[in-house]
């Protein structure tokens, strides 16, 4: 059995207005969350840089310097045995 539901034009407009209000509220909330995320990311970057300086890195790019790799002169080769 199918129900025939009729909605007046005023009810339809009220529903659409409520949807528009909800959309605007959600957009405002998204903007606020993105702003909070940006602030927290900036705080984290500042803390990481501060920690890097306290660990002895002279600049931000010190961690990208290539250091000569030490060669392990004592290599152990194991061959199959019985």
Give the pLDDT confidence of 10-56 residue by residue, as tens digits: 999 999 999 999 999 999 999 999 999 999 999 999 998 888 888 77
**Total domains in the fold of the chain:** 1
Q: Is residue 72 part of a domain?
A: no
Q: Is residue 66 part of a domain?
A: no
Length of the chain: 82
Instruction: Give dist(CA 31, CA 24) in Å, integer.
Output: 11
Mean pLDDT along residues 69-75: 53
Give the residue, 53 or 70, on which the prediction is more confident: 53
Q: Is residue 48 part of a domain?
A: yes
Instruction: Give dist(CA 21, CA 26) in Å, integer.
Output: 9
Q: Is residue 2 part of a domain?
A: no
Q: Is residue 43 part of a domain?
A: yes
Instruction: Look up the domain containing 37 and give its range.
Output: 9-57
Q: Is residue 25 part of a domain?
A: yes
Neighbour count for residue 40 (Cβ, 10 Å): 10
CA distances from 12 to 5, 15, 18, 19, 26 (A): 12, 5, 10, 11, 21
Could you tell me the pTM of the whole model?
0.55
Q: Is residue 1 part of a domain?
A: no
Q: Is residue 64 part of a domain?
A: no
Residues 20-33 pLDDT 10s: 999 999 999 999 99
What pLDDT score was predicted for residue 36?
Answer: 97
């Amino acid at each position: 059995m199918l129900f025939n539901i009729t909605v007046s034009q005023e009810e339809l407009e009220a529903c659409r207005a409520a949807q528009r209000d909800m959309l605007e509220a959600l957009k405002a909330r998204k903007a606020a969350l993105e702003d909070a995320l940006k602030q927290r990311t900036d705080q984290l970057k500042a803390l990481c840089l501060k920690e890097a300086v306290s660990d002895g890195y002279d600049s931000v790019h010190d961690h990208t310097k290539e250091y000569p790799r030490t060669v392990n002169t004592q290599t152990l080769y194991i061959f199959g045995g019985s």
